[in-house]
Structure 1
Amino acid sequence: MKKHRIFTTSFASVYPHYITKAEKKSRTKAEVDTIICWLTGYSDKALQQQIEARVDFETFFEQAPELNPNVCKIKGVICGYRVEEIEDELMRKIRYLDKLVDELARGKAMEKILRE
């Protein structure tokens, strides 16, 4: 079965779009990085290394230290799909990230985004 195109897309090519989306709504790159690190377990330094290495999304999530145990609290619709119902594990992780960045851009408080 052919892989979805996003799986082989470099994370570094999408990352600036996350930043732009947040900054258009007066949020910051630091907040985006916080969300990504919270979700994946990467440190700030390790995140930057992944970006510089231009790894694809599949590798990015495969090499992630540990998915946050609170990801089960991420619910809702992104790109027309309920994130909690997406069967493909990698696609669900990517959509979790999309959902968190979307919540940031919509002005949601960081405590709520990080499910604290």
Structure 2
Amino acid sequence: MPVPQQFSLSQNGLVNAADNYQNAGWRTFFIDNQVKTLISEALVNNRDLRMATLKVQEARAQYRLTDADRYPQLNGEGSGSWSGNLKGNTATTREFSTGLNASFDLDFFRSLKEHERSRAPKLFSH
């Protein structure tokens, strides 16, 4: 495949978009369809790239879990029961209960924030 001596945006149709080259996808920079196909196949079949993407997603999820400790926690529960006798008497019992629990960790000494900062490099080092 011949390689040009110079690369020009005008050859690729990006004359007016020179300032937007960062937002353009990689397909914009390649003219040859065969090269585009090869790059597409390489990206789809690249297991290392796929694993790296999964590790980044995992690290982001772990970071969100760590960050969630800084916010209030709400827990709720409810239950109910009904009982009666088999003889058809009118004596029945109905019981209902509900509960709500709220908790919040006041970070007076910034320990949660420091814990979050210390974990961030470990999470993103994968």
- Using the size of structure 1 for normalisation, the TM-score is 0.24
Bigger share in strand: 2
TM-score w.r.t. length of structure 2: 0.22
